[in-house]
Amino acid sequence: MELAELLDNARRNEALLKRLQAFELQLLSAQNWQDFLTLLLEALPSQFDLDAVSLRICDPDGELKSSMLQSLDIDQGALLNQIEFKVSLPIARADVIETPPPWRSGLRLPLMRGGEYLGQLIMYASREDRFTPGMATDFMQHLAAVIAACLVMVRQSEAQALMALTDPLTGAENRRGFERVYRREWARGQRQHHVFSMVLMDIDHFKKVNDVHGHGTGDRVLKNLCRTLKSTIRPTDHIGRLGGEEFALLLPGCQPDQLTNVVSRVQESIREMQVLNDSGKRVPVTASGAFISVTPRPHQDLSVEQVLDHLDKYLYKAKAAGRNLFLPAESA
């Protein structure tokens, strides 16, 4: 190799190394999925002459996917299209791989951290000579090690953030978590003219459940209710436990004409719940509630407290009318 060519190669390597170091520093400061995934799936390809990047993540119990779904706004959900969540993945070493069209070369990098196999990062190029068999991949393998460490850090910090916003008994969002969801949905609605719906509900005669069957059975009712609600509404909907036996639902994209159906389904699923007391006897459960569709408008501000206070008046009417009843609230 000519000296000039060697120097040119060295300069290119040095420039690549500098870019990698700067990129790694950015990655290390990512605290949440949005920053981490945007860097990995959008910044990485543009900064390193790649045409696309995808992630395959080992996620046997679906925890990572649900953490990302919780943390990302729905309009950032496109990032998730570049991620495959796998129940299991065969361990693969760093290698140049065959790629489907339109890509003409690709590199697969394993993501390992402390002996845990986290998944793979796949880089695609439309140039055939971008990745060639036998090429040196040490820089990229180093990058993969940093990505794996950051993935573990972000997983942990997202889990901690989620814990602070989650009700430990039922796994529903706590009041703070629910307020955060509302603020996000309100802002998204203003940006994109999205409607969302809200339901406020309260278990009927819950004090009696506790008094007659004991606190343990009362807790089981609350846990069962959340499980039931989760399986009745969409995975992108939100359940908040606002206090004792009071819950709220936030249903993004749920139009007024669909809301009555959703509420009937919710009511039905609560009535069908099979909760047993300590003697194995079924405890019948019903709830009362109120519901409304919210259309965020630009330059308007309607807080979650205002919506909930408004719904509370209708919930009170439903209780007064004999319970086991959900009433539509007039627009706020």
Ligand X SMILES: Nc1nc2c(ncn2[C@@H]2O[C@H](COP(=O)(O)OP(=O)(O)OP(=O)(O)O)[C@@H](O)[C@H]2O)c(=O)[nH]1
| Chain residues in the site for ligand X (CB under 6 A) | 169, 202-208, 210, 215, 218-219, 222, 244-245, 319, 323
CB of 205 to ligand X, least distance (A): 5
Adjacent-strand bridge partners of 112: 117
Burial code (b: 16+ CB inside 10 Å, e: under 16) for 135-168 equals: eebeebeebbbbbbbbbebbbeebeebeeebbbe
Neighbours of 196 (CB within 10 A): 23
Question: Any catalytic annotation for residue 245?
Answer: yes
Nearest residue (CB) to ligand X, 65 versus 223:
223
Nearest residue (CB) to ligand X, 158 versus 246:
246
Nearest residue (CB) to ligand X, 51 versus 312:
312
- Residues comprising the chain, all counted: 332
Of 304, 66, 45, 88, give the one whose Cα is nearest residue 198. 304
CB of 324 to ligand X, least distance (A): 10
Nearest residue (CB) to ligand X, 162 versus 283:
283
Nearest residue (CB) to ligand X, 26 versus 277:
277
Please pick, among 245, 268, 272, 305, the residue that the annotation labels catalytic: 245
CB of 204 to ligand X, least distance (A): 4
CB of 218 to ligand X, least distance (A): 3
90, amino acid identity: P
CB of 135 to ligand X, least distance (A): 60
> Which residues are catalytically annotated?
245
